[in-house]
Amino acid sequence: MKNIALFTMMVLGLVVCSPVQADSPLALMERDEWAGTYFKGHKLGFTHGRVERQGKDVVVHTRVFFRLKAGGENQTTIITQVTTLDEKLRLKKFSLLQEIMGSRQRVLGHWVDGKLEYEVTTSGYQKTKSMVFPPDVVPSSTAWLNILDRGLEVGKKGTLKLFIEPFQMIVPMTYEVLRREKTDIAGKSHDAFVVTQEYAGMKTTLWVSPTGSVLRESTQQGFESQQEDKVKAQEMGKEVISVSNFITLSLVTPNRPIKNPGRLKALTLKMSALKRADSVPEDQRQKIKKVEADGHGGFTALVEIMQEAVMTQPGPKRPVSGVLDPVHLEEAAEIQSRNGLIRGQARVIIGKEPDAWKAALLINRWVYANMEKVMVDSFTALDALNSMRGECQSHTNLFTALARAEGIPTRVVNGLVYSSQYKGFLYHAWPEVYVGEWRALDPTFGQDAVDATHIKLSVGNYQGAIKLMEFLGKVQVEIVEN
């Protein structure tokens, strides 16, 4: 499955905290609370949230910890953030640190004159950027305080502009206070408001005390957090959930199996439970033949997918010109194409090959042959090069960095691919290169031309991952012809 830690992080990132001081409005109370996090009843990790007042400012400390077994070893992910808000709960600054198996990414940001100035640092990469950031945009780590500030009343609903700090993206989030009911926490009954939140296709349900304490939170995918004391929340026990436990979460089982998927040249399928009529993109090998409303607020699309065509003409010389978006040649936090180690390795792989397409094939075959295929996450291409092991995202990031380093425009594609082992479609990532036209390869599978079971759903590392959330656990696939 593509980037397990990414999806888990998306569902565990909420602050869960209860008040210790009751002489302020709910949103401004000082709070300190812990919660255990679970997947289908199995302990996955914990979250900790602490809210304190420093003069007129509100400072929020959040920590998310979870542990999985991947590649035969424990994989620990820790996300730590300190966010400072003014008295109106508007962002002033934040510091975010993400750690996965020794790999680190730090994002430091501060608001000034309608813009967010921020610095992103990973191994071999450091860059300062800015983005337009209206004062009504709220950080995801503190969004719950903004909801409390609007009031807990049955029937209350609203929309927030949510800033996803790890991805540096703004997306809309809707919420609604549905009802009031009793909920059981550690054998005790509590009066609670039931609140739903939805963003990026992910919906969570929260049970909230009248004083604003999040007692429990659950998702449709089987994740749950429950308020616990500090000691119990941090008790992990000996059982470690394997990444394989998440396969059923991501698996899309069609109406019949596909034989020899790696050799499949054409595939026609029906995709249902789509959020929008244009949810599934079209490209050089993927065409939408028909789209219909399903009568339940979603859409069904008839999709025709072809194996990537054979390149019959020589490719352009490196560096390739003519690509419409220069971002496909740029370095990024996870794609360190200007790093000396990346550039040096790219030159070793390609040698003096001037043809961009032939160079891309050399990179594709080198990554496939040299990277160990294990479901272990890494933040960046440089992390993948240093460890030479990882899942599809690691293979794709490394390919992308090596190709861009040699002047080959490359983009990351996200979607589904058929697995003979699981007899269904799993979420996957692969690259596309621009060599006069866009062409899809797969360094994880060693395919110079991707097979017809590669269903493209989005483009881009962060933007693409956010878009995938609208499909996860919802989309259904029926094979019409193969």
Per-residue pLDDT at 327 exceeds 70? yes
Categorize the per-residue pLDDT at 317 as very low, low, confident or very high, splitting at 50, 70 and 90.
very high
Per-residue pLDDT at 100 exceeds 60? yes
| Cα–Cα dist 473/113, whole Å | 40
What's the token pair of residue 138? 């709220």
Could you tell me if 324 and 454 lie in one domain?
yes
Buried b (16+ CB within 10 A) or exposed e, 210-235: eebbbbbbbbebbbbbbbbeeeebee
| Cα–Cα dist 427/457, whole Å | 10
Rounded mean pLDDT, 309-319: 92
Rounded mean pLDDT, 446-467: 93
Question: What is the domain-level CATH number for residue 393?
Answer: 3.10.620.30
The answer to whether residues 305 and 285 touch, using CB atoms and an 8 Å cutoff, is yes
What's the token pair of residue 30? 């000082």
| Cα–Cα dist 132/113, whole Å | 9
Domain boundary residue, one of 208, 242, 276: 242
* pLDDT reported for residue 16: 43
Could you tell me if 40 and 184 lie in one domain?
yes
Domain boundary residue, one of 242, 274, 303: 242
Could you tell me if 221 and 282 lie in one domain?
no
Categorize the per-residue pLDDT at 217 as very low, low, confident or very high, splitting at 50, 70 and 90.
very high
Categorize the per-residue pLDDT at 9 as very low, low, confident or very high, splitting at 50, 70 and 90.
very low
> 368 lies in a domain?
yes
* pLDDT reported for residue 347: 97
| Cα–Cα dist 477/285, whole Å | 18
* pLDDT reported for residue 11: 45
Strand order, beta sheet including 299-306: 286-293, 299-306, 266-274, 476-481
* pLDDT reported for residue 20: 39
Helix and strand numbers, DSSP H then E, in the chain: 9, 25
Per-residue pLDDT at 306 exceeds 50? yes
Burial of 102 (0-12, 13-18, 19+ CB in 10 A): exposed
> 248 lies in a domain?
no
Could you tell me if 442 and 476 lie in one domain?
yes
Categorize the per-residue pLDDT at 21 as very low, low, confident or very high, splitting at 50, 70 and 90.
very low
* pLDDT reported for residue 18: 41
Per-residue pLDDT at 5 exceeds 50? no
* pLDDT reported for residue 246: 72
Could you tell me if 292 and 413 lie in one domain?
yes
Buried b (16+ CB within 10 A) or exposed e, 268-286: bbbbbbbeeeebbeeeebb
Could you tell me if 184 and 295 lie in one domain?
no
Per-residue pLDDT at 12 exceeds 70? no
> 457 lies in a domain?
yes
* pLDDT reported for residue 374: 85
* pLDDT reported for residue 14: 44
* pLDDT reported for residue 7: 47
Could you tell me if 59 and 103 lie in one domain?
yes
> 470 lies in a domain?
yes
* Of 16-25, 65-74, 256-265, 323-332, minimum mean pLDDT range: 16-25
Tens digit of each residue's pLDDT (9 = 90 or more) over 106-118: 999 999 999 999 9
Categorize the per-residue pLDDT at 182 as very low, low, confident or very high, splitting at 50, 70 and 90.
very high
Domain count, the chain: 2
Domain boundary residue, one of 242, 271, 304: 242
Looking at residue 165, the DSSP 8-state letter turns out to be T
Could you tell me if 237 and 140 lie in one domain?
yes
Per-residue pLDDT at 455 exceeds 60? yes
Per-residue pLDDT at 13 exceeds 50? no
> 86 lies in a domain?
yes
Could you tell me if 226 and 329 lie in one domain?
no
Could you tell me if 232 and 328 lie in one domain?
no
Per-residue pLDDT at 22 exceeds 50? no
* Of 241-245, 427-431, 477-481, minimum mean pLDDT range: 241-245
Rounded mean pLDDT, 30-43: 90
Q: Output the average pLDDT for the chain.
A: 90
* pLDDT reported for residue 416: 96
Strand partners, 478: 270
Contacts of 188 (CB under 8 A, 6+ apart): none
Burial of 255 (0-12, 13-18, 19+ CB in 10 A): exposed
Helical packing angle, 392-405 and 356-370, nearest 10° = 140
For residue 104, CA distances in Å to 46, 78, 377 come to 20, 10, 12
> 200 lies in a domain?
yes
Domain ranges, residue 451: 261-481
Half-sphere exposure for 53 (CA within 13 Å, toward CB): 15
| Cα–Cα dist 122/342, whole Å | 14
Rounded mean pLDDT, 422-449: 96
Task: For residue 359, give the amino acid letter.
Answer: A
* pLDDT reported for residue 203: 87
Tens digit of each residue's pLDDT (9 = 90 or more) over 332-385: 999 999 999 999 999 999 999 999 999 999 999 999 999 999 877 777 999 999
Rounded mean pLDDT, 270-290: 96
Could you tell me if 199 and 306 lie in one domain?
no
> 247 lies in a domain?
no
* pLDDT reported for residue 28: 77
Could you tell me if 287 and 180 lie in one domain?
no
Helical packing angle, 356-370 and 340-350, nearest 10° = 110
- Between 24 and 167, where is the model more confident? 167
> 400 lies in a domain?
yes
* pLDDT reported for residue 394: 93
For residue 1, CA distances in Å to 231, 248, 422 come to 32, 10, 11
